[in-house]
Amino acid sequence: MYITLKNINKIYPNGFHAVHHFNLEIEKGEFVVFVGPSGCGKSTTLRMIAGLESISSGEFLINGERANEKSPREREVAMVFQSYALYPQMTVFDNIAFGLTLQGVDEDIIEERVKKTAQILGLTDYLDRLPRALSGGQRQRVAIGRALIRKVGIFLMDEPLSNLDAKQRVTMRGEIAQIHRETGATTIYVTHDQTEAMTLADRIVVMKDGYIQQVGTPYELYFRPSNVFVAGFIGEPPMNFVRGTIQNSGILFGDQRVDLTGVRPDLAAQEGRSVVFGFRPEAVTLAEQKDASRIDCRVELTEMLGDNTNVYITSGEQQSILKVDSHDTPETDAPLTFFIPWESMYFFDGETEEVL
Ligand code: ATP
């Protein structure tokens, strides 16, 4: 295994326990994304890997060798931050070359490597410019170039797209994926944006309150979330949740009843058990189908987004969102019937919120 984090903890000098028992193994060439809400400990973990923050306990290995005490340089990591941290008075060429210049690398070699890096990043025509004459996306590419040129083993990125506008972010996301394909560099990327995580990652680590919630491929996290938090965090709009207790082999969905006998006979038999029932907005259908539960509700609001429409519904007190084809946009303030396929139903324990 290329990178191993064994039972890593971070306790800051003020006593705050920011990262708890973090365990993860990363293979060479993998693109791993740490995702979670603000304050969940993802940057702290990345900074411990970078060597910018000490590791309070646990073991950190690179290529099987203990690296806890190694300096950032010895770890052979390069980091890209959310603020690009470019030198404003230096040209793009000099900014990219900076690390190598500092190391006293031969000028011919520097020139060759800057040109190669600029080519990968589409910056060839901008090498003579100063950072202020570049767009946000171009500046971010320079910052990535500066990290890439060092040819290190591990590439770390902390919210590298957060200073870009929505459109630039999508473009840059594609470019980062492309750069990873071309360089094959092992990458650890931190973001709070689940779309970035889903589109870039080979594997995603979902964190909350300093604890790993789940590690898996984007597919696994979407289709097999291990708890309510992950189920609600991955997917947009988020999964709908209905809290309740199992009564007469079913669960109440507002003023409707979902029978569990066909869906989950094991749960149907557990009278009185408290559960959280979940279904994704995009998993419902408006046409009747086999092996699906029927729900009658009322449409409160619709949002046409182009190919899809978000439909805000209520059933009794229960509010939910459905995502339907925009050609099927229902009328507002009117009754609606929809179907949830059994295979798209999720059940979690009412107390632990772990998947059942
Ligand atoms: P964000 O997306 O907001 O950067 P994050 O998930 O990256 O969040 P961290 O920056 O890792 O979160 O911080 C995790 C927790 O540790 C937070 O509650 C933060 O307040 C706390 N923290 C960070 N740095 C320190 C510090 N130097 N001393 C004490 N607590 C800290």
pLDDT in tens, 57-110: 999 999 999 999 999 888 888 888 776 678 889 999 999 998 888 888 899 999
Per domain, the residue ranges of the chain are 3-233, 241-349
284 within ligand 1 shell (Cβ under 6 A): no
Q: Which DSSP string do the residues of 287-353 spell out, in sequence order?
A: S--SSEEEEEEEEEEEEE-SSEEEEEEEETTEEEEEEEEGGGPPPTTSEEEEEEEGGGEEEEETTT-
DSSP code for 205:
E
Share of the chain above pLDDT 90, in %: 72
Determine the distance separating the centroid of ligand 1 and the alpha carbon of 179, expressed in angstroms: 29
Structure confidence at residue 268 as a pLDDT band (50, 70, 90): very high
Nearest to 324 by CA among 342, 311, 337, 306: 311
Supply the mean pLDDT for the chain. Answer: 92
Q: Which of 8, 14, 16 should be mutated for ligand 1, with most atoms under 8 A from CB? A: 16
CATH superfamily of 3-233: P-loop containing nucleotide triphosphate hydrolases (3.40.50.300)
**Helix, strand or coil, per DSSP, at residue 169:** helix
Domain 3-233 matches domain 241-349 at the CATH topology level? no
Containing 122, the helix (H) or strand (E) segment is none
Nearest to 213 by CA among 59, 22, 4: 22
Q: Does residue 86's CB lie within 6 angstroms of at least one atom of ligand 1?
A: no
| Structure tokens that stand for 328 in this block | 């099927």
Q: Of all protein residues, whose CA lies closest to atom 28 belonging to ligand 1?
A: 12
What is the position in ligand 1's atom list of the atom closest to the CA of 41? 11
Ligand 1 centroid–CA 19 distance in Å is 9
Ligand 1 and 10: CB distance under 6 A: no
pLDDT tens, position by position, 167-197: 878 888 888 888 888 888 899 999 999 999 9
Structure tokens at 46: 């990345």
227: pLDDT strictly greater than 80: yes
Sign of CA dihedral 26, 31, 34, 36: negative
**Residue range 241-349, CATH number:** 2.40.50.140
